[in-house]
Amino acid sequence: MSPAESKAMQEYLDKELADGKIEPSHSPVASPCFFVKKAGGGLRLVVDYRKINEITVNDQFPIPLQADLLEKIKDAKIFSKLDLKSGYNNIRIKKGEEWRTAFRAKEGIYHYNVMPFGLKNGPPIFQRFMNYIFNDLIDVIVIVYLDDILIFSRNREEHTEHVREVLRRIRDNNLYLNLSKCLFFTTEVTYIGIVITPEGISMEKEKIRAVQEWQEPRTVRQPQSFLVFANFYRRFIKDFSTIVKPLTLLTRKEQKWQWEEAEQHAFDKLKEEIGKDPVLIHPNPDKPYFLETDASGVAMGAVLSQRHTDGYLHPIAFLSKSFVDAQVNYDTHDKELLAIITALEHWRIFLEGTDEPITVYTDHKNLEYWKKAHTFNKWHARWYQILAPFNFNIVYQPGKMSEKPDAL
3-class SS string, the chain: CCHHHHHHHHHHHHHHHHHCCEEECCCCCCECEEEEECCCCCEEEEECCHHHHHCCCCCCCCCCCHHHHHHHHCCCCEEEEEEECCHHHHCECCCCCHHHHCEEECCEEEEECECCCCCCCHHHHHHHHHHHHCCCCECCCEEEECCEEEEEECCHHHHHHHHHHHHHHHHHCCCCECHHHCEEEECCEEECCEEECCCEEEECHHHHHHHHCCCCCCCCHHHHHHHHHHHCCHHHCCCHHHHHHHHHHHCCCCCCCCCCHHHHHHHHHHHHHHHCCCCEECCCCCCCCEEEEEECCCEEEEEEEEECCCCCEEEEEEEEEECCHHHHHCCHHHHHHHHHHHHHHHCHHHHECCCCCEEEEECCHHHHHHHHCCCCCHHHHHHHHHHCCECEEEEECCCCCCCCCCCC
Quote the number of domains for the chain: 3
State residue 211's pLDDT score.
Answer: 82
Mean pLDDT, rounded, for 388-400: 78
Query: Which has the minimum average pLDDT: 218-222, 365-369, 401-405?
Result: 401-405
**Model confidence pLDDT, tens digit, residues 256-287:** 888 888 889 989 998 888 888 878 888 888 88
Yes or no: say if 125 and 91 are a contact pair by the CB < 8 Å rule: yes
Query: Which has the minimum average pLDDT: 194-203, 217-226, 299-308?
Result: 217-226
Yes or no: say if 295 and 335 are a contact pair by the CB < 8 Å rule: yes
Query: Which has the minimum average pLDDT: 77-86, 121-130, 177-186, 276-285?
Result: 276-285
- Residue 89 domain boundaries: 3-196
Across the chain, what does the average pLDDT equal? 86
Q: Are 236 and 286 in a shared domain?
A: no
290 domain-assigned = yes
Residues 6+ apart with CB under 8 A from 397: 361, 362, 363
104 domain-assigned = yes
Q: Are 137 and 23 in a shared domain?
A: yes
Q: Are 329 and 391 in a shared domain?
A: yes
Q: Are 335 and 373 in a shared domain?
A: yes
**Model confidence pLDDT, tens digit, residues 342-351:** 999 888 888 8
Yes or no: say if 37 and 43 are a contact pair by the CB < 8 Å rule: yes
Q: How confident is the model at residue 82 (pLDDT cuts 50, 70, 90)?
A: very high
Q: Are 117 and 149 in a shared domain?
A: yes
Mean pLDDT, rounded, for 300-320: 85
Residues 6+ apart with CB under 8 A from 167: none
125 domain-assigned = yes
Q: How confident is the model at residue 405 (pLDDT cuts 50, 70, 90)?
A: very low
Boundary-marking domain end, from 196, 221, 246 = 196
Q: Where residue 327 sits, what CATH number does that domain have?
A: 3.30.420.10
Boundary-marking domain end, from 247, 275, 303 = 275
Residues 6+ apart with CB under 8 A from 22: 13, 16, 110, 111, 112, 113
402 domain-assigned = no
304 domain-assigned = yes
Beta pairing, strands 299-307 & 290-295: antiparallel
Q: Are 176 and 255 in a shared domain?
A: no
State residue 108's pLDDT score.
Answer: 93
Q: Is the pLDDT of residue 98 over 90?
A: yes
Distance between CA atoms of residues 10 and 5, nearest Å = 9
Terminal C-alpha separation, the chain = 53
Q: Considering the chain, what percentage of its residues have pLDDT values greater than 70?
A: 92
Boundary-marking domain end, from 164, 196, 228 = 196
Q: Where residue 39 sits, what CATH number does that domain have?
A: 3.30.70.270
Maximal CA-CA distance, the chain = 79
